[in-house]
């Protein structure tokens, strides 16, 4: 974590207004949103629209599903929303998505608040971290828990090369249950 990345995280209560313009803005708003809520019931379409600054749309086939997406850069966009299935239950997710389907661009331009900075902020607001290792011993994500809520943050290497950028992790996906 570096001090310039940490300084980009806006304290709760001074969230930016208007539409999301950068990845740093998106992650700052996600941190503020996570800190302010007590559980999924707080994430109504109106609340999300007020905190994220973009119109939230309900799915025509199921009003319990709603969200938004928009471009951030030429190579990246974001998407967030509430979803529900009979088998998996209810969840909220935020993800950075490549602008072109199937592409895998470098995350450098959306990694101003990196994985370490974002996850340390979650710990600072009272979440307890647990590393999520899959069966073959690979690191998949980190879980963050507090009463009534669990957040899972998925990392991705900043780029395919050089090695220092492969090992520098960015936030790719945030999942809330």
pLDDT in tens, 94-132: 999 999 999 999 999 999 999 999 999 999 999 999 999
Note down the domain range covering 119: 3-176
What is the total count of domains within the chain?
Answer: 1
* Dihedral sign of CA atoms 153, 145, 64, 48 in order: negative
* Dihedral sign of CA atoms 65, 153, 74, 19 in order: positive
Q: What confidence tens digit (pLDDT) does each residue in 36-94 have?
A: 999 999 999 999 999 999 999 999 999 899 999 999 999 999 999 999 988 999 999 99
């Amino acid at each position: 974590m570096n001090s310039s990345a940490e300084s980009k995280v806006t304290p709760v209560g001074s969230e930016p207004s208007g539409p999301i313009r950068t990845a740093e803005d998106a992650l700052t708003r996600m941190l503020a949103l996570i800190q302010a809520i007590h559980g999924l019931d707080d994430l109504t379409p109106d609340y999300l629209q007020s905190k994220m600054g973009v119109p939230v749309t309900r799915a025509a086939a199921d009003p319990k599903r709603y969200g938004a997406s928009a471009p951030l850069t030429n190579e990246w966009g974001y998407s967030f929303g509430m979803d529900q299935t009979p088998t998996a239950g209810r969840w909220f997710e935020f993800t950075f998505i490549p602008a072109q389907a199937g592409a895998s661009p470098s995350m450098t331009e959306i990694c101003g608040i990196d994985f370490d900075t974002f996850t340390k902020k979650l710990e600072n607001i009272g979440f307890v971290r647990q590393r999520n290792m899959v069966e073959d011993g690979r690191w998949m994500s980190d879980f963050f828990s507090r009463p009534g809520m669990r957040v899972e943050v998925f990392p991705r290497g900043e780029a395919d090369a050089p090695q220092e950028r492969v090992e520098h992790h960015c936030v790719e996906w945030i999942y809330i249950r």
